[in-house]
Amino acid sequence: MQPSQSCPPESIDDVAVEEILSLLADNYVRSILDALAAGPKPAAEIADYCSASTVTIYRRLNRLEAAGLVAVETQIAPDGNHRAQYRARPASIAVSITETGLTGDLTVESTAEPPAGDYRHRPASTVGDD
């Protein structure tokens, strides 16, 4: 998998309507978004909440991050270990059926740049597909 873009998409022009609909049609994605509604969580906690493997969760989180619907923040613990936390980005999505096909509007709330010392997460590459 390719690393995610440094700037998440801010409009549906940057992400295909079909990709957003495909994401939202996925039961795991909806379960991930439900888990993140309570606040940021590491992938292992999300996997437990969703009763899914971490590989499955990382795969969906990578797609959600690429679409701009999830943000990742890396926290550095006092012992030096790094821990990625995922959080849902507030968004509104509107889809219309027109004479030319599906059109849509995705509005994702902008987030502040991470504080100094934070590092941007790069999605892990995984083997196989669920």
What pLDDT digit, counting tens, does each position of 95-115 carry? 788 888 777 776 766 554 444
Please identify which residue in the block is written with the tokens 């613990």: 77
pTM of the model: 0.68
Domain residue spans of the chain: 17-88
Looking at residue 127, its pLDDT comes to 46
Low-confidence residues of the chain, pLDDT below 70? Answer: 1-15, 106, 108-130
Distance, CA of 127 to CA of 103 (rounded, Å): 33
Looking at residue 17, its pLDDT comes to 76
- CATH class name, domain 17-88: mainly alpha
Collapsing DSSP to helix, strand or coil, 106 comes out as strand
Strands 82-88 and 70-76: antiparallel
Picking from 110, 111, 99, 108, the residue whose alpha carbon sits closest to that of residue 12 is: 108
Q: How many CB atoms lie within 10 A of CB 32?
A: 29
Collapsing DSSP to helix, strand or coil, 17 comes out as helix
